[in-house]
C-alpha cells in the first residue's frame, strides 16, 4: 500500500542518485577539458594549428634618376588556386581531432604596366608553427630562388617589358581544425578568382564568414568544389570545416547529466506497474535499482575513452540490465524481472541514453517518450481508486 513515507523514501533514493550523477558528470567535464588542453597542445606541435592562408602582396620597384627608388603596391589581376584537403582523424582520450593534410598551389598573374624595374612578392605562410614540404616558387613555370622571413616567402621577379608576371607558389602542410583562404581583414575587391578544392571526405561544411562554393561535384572519395568570381567584393573568405565523429567525452557528459530524468521516468513507471500488479518494492530495493542505473554511467565514463563508443555503450547496457534482472528475480521473481522491469529499463535507460547520441534530436526524442509514457500510464491507471491505495492501514 502506498504512503507518503514510502514515496518520500523513493524520492530520497532518486535525489541521492542525482547527486552522484552530478559528481560523475563534473568529473567527466574536468577530464575532458584537461585532456583537450594537453592533446591540443601536443597535436599543435606535431600537426600545426588552424591554417589561414592569405594572398601574396606584390610591389613594383624601379629606380628613377630624379626620384630615386619608386615603389607601389599592385593587386593580382587573376588568381588560380587549387587546394587538396585530406582528412586524417585522430582520437586522443575522450576527444576526436580533425587533423588534415593540405596541398596548396596558387598561380597569380600581375599586370605589367612598367617598362623597367622588378616585382617583389611577399607570400604569407598560413601559420608560423606549421611545417611545410615541397615548397616552390615558380615564375612563368620556372623555379626561382625564394627566401623566408617573418613567416613569409620573399622573391624578386625581373620584369619583361610588355609581358605580365605570372607567379606560382606551392607547398604541402598539415593543420588542425579548419582551413581558410581569407582575402583581407576588411571588405576588399578580388578580381578573376577561381579556387578549386578537392576533399577526401563527403561530409563538408563551411566556417563562419566564408562563402559557399559556386559549383559542387561529388567524387568517389569526397567533393570537388569551385569558387569562381569575375569581380568579387567581400569581407568573407573561403574555407572548409572538417567533419567530426561523435565525441566520446561530451557524449558521456550529456548522458550522465540527463540520467536523473531517466531514473525518474523509470521509477514512475515501476511504481505504476507494481501498483497494478500489487507488488511491493521497498525503497531499499529502489536504491539497488538506482545503483544498477548508476553502474551503466560509471562504466561508460571510464570505458568510452578506451574502446569505440558503440562497443562501450553495448557493454554498459548489458552489465546494467544483468544487474537489474539478476537482482529482481530474487526480490520478486524471474518473470517480473525479465519482462516488466527489463522492458522499463530498456526503454528509460538504454533507449533514453541512445536518444542523446544525436544532440539535435535528443530533446524531441525525450519529449515524445515522455508524452507516450504519460498516455500509457494514464490509460492503465484511469480506473485505480487512489484514495484506497493511499489509505492508512
CATH number, domain of 151, equals: 2.60.40
Q: How confident is the model at residue 1 (pLDDT cuts 50, 70, 90)?
A: low
β-bridge pairing 178-181 and 51-53:
parallel
Examine the domain organization and report whether 54 and 114 are in the same domain: yes
Residue 132 lies in a domain: yes
- Please give the pLDDT value at position 13: 93
Please give the average per-residue pLDDT across 167-171, as a whole number. 94
Q: For residue 212, what is the DSSP state?
A: P
- Please give the pLDDT value at position 42: 73
Residue 43 lies in a domain: no
Please give the average per-residue pLDDT across 97-118, as a whole number. 86
End of a domain among 214, 241, 268?
241
Residue 41 lies in a domain: no
CB contact burial 83-115 (16+ within 10 A = b; e otherwise) = bebbbeeeeebbbbbbbbbbbbbbbbebebebe
pLDDT surpassing 50 at residue 393:
no
Please give the C-alpha separations between residue 324 and each of 18, 259, 338, in angstroms, as whole numbers: 19, 16, 9
Examine the domain organization and report whether 221 and 122 are in the same domain: yes
Examine the domain organization and report whether 164 and 185 are in the same domain: yes
End of a domain among 222, 241, 260?
241
Higher pLDDT, residue 91 or 320: 320
Q: Are 18 and 260 in contact (CB under 8 A)?
A: yes
Compute the distance between CA of residue 52 and CA of residue 233 in angstroms, rounded to an integer.
19
Residue 39 lies in a domain: no
Phi, psi at 8, each rounded to 5°: -65, -40
Higher pLDDT, residue 52 or 118: 52
**Domains: count for the chain:** 2
Place of cell 577561381: 194
Its domain, for residue 133, covers 49-241
pLDDT surpassing 70 at residue 231:
yes
Please give the average per-residue pLDDT across 196-200, as a whole number. 95
Residue 235 lies in a domain: yes
Examine the domain organization and report whether 129 and 18 are in the same domain: no
Please give the average per-residue pLDDT across 360-369, as a whole number. 86
Residue 44 lies in a domain: no
End of a domain among 195, 216, 241?
241
Examine the domain organization and report whether 134 and 158 are in the same domain: yes
Examine the domain organization and report whether 324 and 200 are in the same domain: no
- Please give the pLDDT value at position 2: 66
End-to-end CA distance of the chain: 8
- Please give the pLDDT value at position 314: 95
pTM: 0.80
Q: What pLDDT digit, counting tens, does each position of 256-308 carry?
A: 999 999 999 999 999 888 888 888 889 999 999 999 999 999 999 999 988 99
Largest CA distance in the chain: 115
- Please give the pLDDT value at position 78: 93
Please give the average per-residue pLDDT across 13-19, as a whole number. 94
Examine the domain organization and report whether 151 and 283 are in the same domain: no
Please give the average per-residue pLDDT across 133-138, as a whole number. 92
pLDDT surpassing 60 at residue 392:
no
pLDDT surpassing 70 at residue 225:
yes
Examine the domain organization and report whether 55 and 29 are in the same domain: no
| Mean pLDDT score of the chain | 89
pLDDT surpassing 70 at residue 68:
no
Residue 350 lies in a domain: yes
CB contact burial 184-196 (16+ within 10 A = b; e otherwise) = eeeeeebeebbbb
pLDDT surpassing 60 at residue 152:
yes
Q: How confident is the model at residue 138 (pLDDT cuts 50, 70, 90)?
A: very high
Examine the domain organization and report whether 89 and 191 are in the same domain: yes
Examine the domain organization and report whether 189 and 99 are in the same domain: yes
Examine the domain organization and report whether 21 and 61 are in the same domain: no
pLDDT surpassing 80 at residue 160:
no
Residue 40 lies in a domain: no
Higher pLDDT, residue 365 or 36: 365
- Positive or negative, the CA dihedral 277, 279, 284, 285 is negative
Q: What pLDDT digit, counting tens, does each position of 307-318 carry?
A: 999 999 999 999
Examine the domain organization and report whether 197 and 260 are in the same domain: no
CB contact burial 347-375 (16+ within 10 A = b; e otherwise) = bbbbebbebbbeeeebeebbeebeeebee
Amino acid at each position: 500500500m502506498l504512503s507518503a513515507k514510502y514515496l518520500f523514501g523513493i524520492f530520497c533514493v532518486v535525489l541521492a542518485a542525482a547527486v552522484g550523477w552530478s559528481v560523475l558528470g563534473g568529473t567527466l567535464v574536468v577530464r575532458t577539458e584537461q585532456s583537450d588542453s594537453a592533446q591540443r597542445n601536443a597535436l599543435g606541435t606535431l600537426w600545426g594549428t588552424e591554417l589561414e592562408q592569405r594572398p601574396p602582396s606584390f610591389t613594383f620597384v624601379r629606380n628613377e634618376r630624379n626620384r630615386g627608388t619608386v615603389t607601389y603596391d599592385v593587386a593580382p589581376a587573376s588568381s588560380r588556386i587549387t587546394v587538396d584537403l585530406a582528412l586524417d582523424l585522430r582520437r586522443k582520450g575522450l576527444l576526436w581531432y580533425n587533423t588534415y593534410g593540405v596541398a596548396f598551389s596558387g598561380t597569380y598573374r600581375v599586370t605589367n604596366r612598367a617598362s623597367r624595374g622588378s616585382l617583389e612578392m611577399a607570400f604569407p605562410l598560413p601559420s608560423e608553427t606549421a611545417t611545410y614540404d615541397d615548397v616552390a616558387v615558380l615564375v612563368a613555370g620556372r623555379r626561382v630562388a625564394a627566401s623566408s622571413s617573418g613567416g613569409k616567402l620573399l622573391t624578386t621577379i625581373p620584369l619583361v617589358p610588355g609581358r605580365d608576371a605570372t607567379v606560382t607558389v606551392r607547398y604541402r602542410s598539415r593543420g588542425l581544425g579548419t582551413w581558410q583562404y581569407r582575402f583581407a581583414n576588411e571588405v576588399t575587391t578580388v578580381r578573376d578568382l577561381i579556387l578549386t578544392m578537392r576533399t577526401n571526405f563527403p561530409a563538408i561544411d563551411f566556417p563562419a564568414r566564408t562563402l559557399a562554393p559556386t559549383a559542387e561535384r561529388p567524387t568517389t572519395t569526397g567533393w570537388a568544389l569551385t569558387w569562381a568570381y569575375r569581380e568579387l567584393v567581400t569581407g568573407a573568405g573561403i574555407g572548409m570545416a572538417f567533419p567530426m565523429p561523435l565525441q566520446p567525452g561530451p557524449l558521456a557528459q550529456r548522458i550522465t547529466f540527463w540520467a536523473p530524468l531517466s531514473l525518474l521516468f523509470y521509477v514512475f513507471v515501476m511504481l505504476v506497474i507494481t501498483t497494478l500488479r500489487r507488488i511491493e518494492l521497498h525503497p531499499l530495493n529502489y536504491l539497488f535499482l538506482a545503483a544498477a542505473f548508476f553502474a551503466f554511467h560509471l562504466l561508460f565514463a571510464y570505458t568510452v575513452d578506451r574502446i569505440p563508443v558503440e562497443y562501450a555503450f553495448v557493454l554498459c547496457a548489458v552489465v546494467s540490465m544483468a544487474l537489474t534482472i539478476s537482482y529482481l528475480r530474487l526480490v520478486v521473481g524471474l518473470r517480473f524481472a525479465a519482462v516488466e522491469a527489463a522492458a522499463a529499463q530498456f526503454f528509460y535507460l538504454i533507449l533514453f541514453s541512445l536518444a542523446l547520441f544525436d544532440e539535435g534530436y535528443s530533446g524531441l526524442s525525450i519529449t515524445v517518450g515522455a508524452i507516450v509514457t504519460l498516455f500509457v500510464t494514464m490509460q492503465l491507471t484511469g480506473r485505480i481508486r487512489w484514495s484506497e491505495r493511499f489509505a492508512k492501514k
